[in-house]
Structure 1
Amino acid sequence: MGDEREALLLNHQNKSRAFARCVSHPRDELQSFRTWLKWLCVDQSNAWTTCLSWFVFFAFAIVVPAVSHFVLACSDCDSRHSRPYDSVAQLSLSGVATLSFLCLSTFVRKYGLRRFLFFDKLRDESETVRKGYTQQFHRSLKILFSFVLPCFVAESVYKIWWFSSGGTRIPFLGHVIVSNTVACILELCSWFYRAMVFFLVCILFRLICYLQILRLQDFAQVFQVDSDVESVLREHLRIRRHLSIISHRYRAFILWALIFITASQFASLLMTTRPNADVNIYHAGELAVCSVSLLSGLLSLLRSASRITHKAQAVTSLAAKWHVCATVDSFDTTEIETAAAQVAREQIFTESSEGSSDLDDVGDEEDELDNTKFLPSYAYSTISFQKRQALVTYFEQNRAGITVYGFMLDRSYLHTIFGIEFSLVLWLLGKTIGIS
């Protein structure tokens, strides 16, 4: 029995030591992810890969889009092959890709991959958090390609049709078919690279926010056991510190991504609603694919930020419910009430919190942070009313979440952003085609 206990303790220490490392090695848990970064040419772990990464960035994010717009533009083609919205699409995607690449390079160079993804902090987490985060980490690439591939397929169909049907006739390689094939492949690689870099930063932000959600769900368990107020406060301060670190790292990217994408959508709407604008699938197809891609990434960012903010603020309501349950229990155990009334009240609470059909209808929509279950009150006999009240007051006055230069990204700010965007659209439509 003692040997088994020592083996378990040694295994736990080895796991904690493995997660405590800040520097990666070739055979760690980031091996497959680092391989994908190398294939995507965004790995900057050494001087060679850094030079290659910057070369590919300049080639696919700047040179190829510029050559495509100025050299391959077919001014004497028929109406279906003209590209009046190509400048907006190229500038929008290249601008967001440049922002994403600069931020990703800064993150990896300044913090390192393990530290940036908070793998070095997992030594202080429970086994549930570690397992859930590593599983989500391995799923992150699948989520990345689920965003990029549908848009890439639509872009590929459009580009192949445009080149194969005579969109350009510039035989810069001596043969029209070979030239069009090379140009089509380069444009598709450029589009795929720019979209992949942008969505990669968005997915990494989503992954880091998922870790904090797991930590908050694990933190909610302290209200169901006989916890010490000081330990609860220390854990919440640690979570708030990590949320502040995430906000500080991503605030510039979120703000500038919102500005760039809003400006690109405004420019797209301004060009497509002109009186002489010819809008159809042949002209505006590429612009539509670009807009859908950028908006999908932006919504992923804002949804992840608002979700973690909602979970962090749900701790306040959970702590208030915990305080109420403990207070009610302390009054119920006084000598004023009879034992029969106590049994009847406990039976009512049990039936309403556990046997109600309303809880069965909820399904998986509620978790430990946001539910309507009555907390067990037998665990609070050692915590005084003053300590509980002080803890609840602290939660009310120190709301945690993702912030951008001091502004909390919660659902109310998302509604504000949507209202501003919608007002701009209605104003522009009213000025151009008379919709108000």
Structure 2
Amino acid sequence: MSNYTLGRDFAQQLDKEDQLAHYRNQFHIPKDKNGDDLIYLCGNSLGLQPKVTKDYINQELEDWANLGVEGHTEGKNPWLPYHEFLTESMAKVVGAKPIEVVVMNTLTANLHFMMVSFYKPTKKRYKILIEADAFPSDKYAVESQLRHHGFDDKEGLVLWKAREGEELANYEDLEAILEAQGDEIALIMIGGVNYYTGQFFDFKRIAALGHKNGCMVGFDCAHGAGNVNLDLHNSGADFAVWCTYKYMNAGPGSLSGCFVHERHAHNKDLNRFTGWWSHNKETRFNMRGEFDQLPGAEGWQLSNPPILSMAAIKASADIFAEVGMEKLTQKSKKLTGYFEFLLNELNNSDIKIITPSNPNERGCQLSIQVKNADKALHHKLTESGVISDWREPDVIRCAPVPLYNSFEDVYNMVERLKACL
């Protein structure tokens, strides 16, 4: 939609027409000291709490209090198979088959577990390619894998850089890197939606390019899960990981999701770290037999699941299952497009949106670069009641999340930014 107009009335009209507007009431919106809703545009860092989360967690606390160990089998939601309650809804969120998805561990831990299996360096093919401005944890993780295997972490790391004077990575440059060094690169590991620019990468194109050059391909979808249509199965990627505390609204430090493509589901020869939760469910408690690998993504589990964290994920995942990613992404494109329109209408030469303008190459985050600004501007914006985040040296990241943000939120944010400037 490009026929946006200025004025608060238009924002309010869009909210009246919004079929998902009522979901806002299902979330706790932080308030200012006067009791008014803050403009919360920070779902790309920590999603808001669904009001039902407390009930979901309390159910497990009650079963623990009343049943003790019997809660594993006798609870309302038995703990033994609890992770399975999340599989189908999470698979739909990321565009995968249930056999390809499991919720376990935390994000960077899962990234390491995936690299145990899919980073298989040889003397000739040992390099890892990432985007130059990857999230720091991704960079630290792949550097440590290089060192772990006895390689130099600077020489073994290949960076896909944006061109001079540009912010976004260019696919022709990726093709050129692979043409020059493809036979030395063992793994391509890209942040699916770049945390800084908000660029949503073309998974299918990158996976095809990597596989053509003999590389394994994985994605960190921390900023993608619950935000964009990832379509992981059809992308052909070997693996992906994501967290659940951003767009998935599962609480600070909550568990991670893991995708392993179906073609690897029954490959027991893949190197991996194992634990008793990756063992055959039928014989897991026999305790004496030889290890018997579970097929699919579940076969990468190590430990029995942390139920209280999973209960919070279930609370949010059930909302996602009800709404569906198609409706969410439809609203997201309209909401973010409206945000972009208002920012452009400021006609301020000091402001530049570095996120792609093509709605199919971004999610709901817009990264606003402000010339000659420092963190003082962000502090002023926060004091005005806008919760966003600052990324050095000069970028304010804002994510109008379609589940709980309104068009009027976006209108108010731009008005307050204008006042701060």
Shorter-chain TM-score bucket reads under 0.3
TM-score between the two structures when normalised by the length of structure 1:
0.20
Structure (1/2) with the larger helix percentage = 1
Compare CA radii of gyration and give the structure with the larger one.
Answer: 1
RCO greater where, 1 or 2, for CA within 8 Å and sep 6 or more?
2
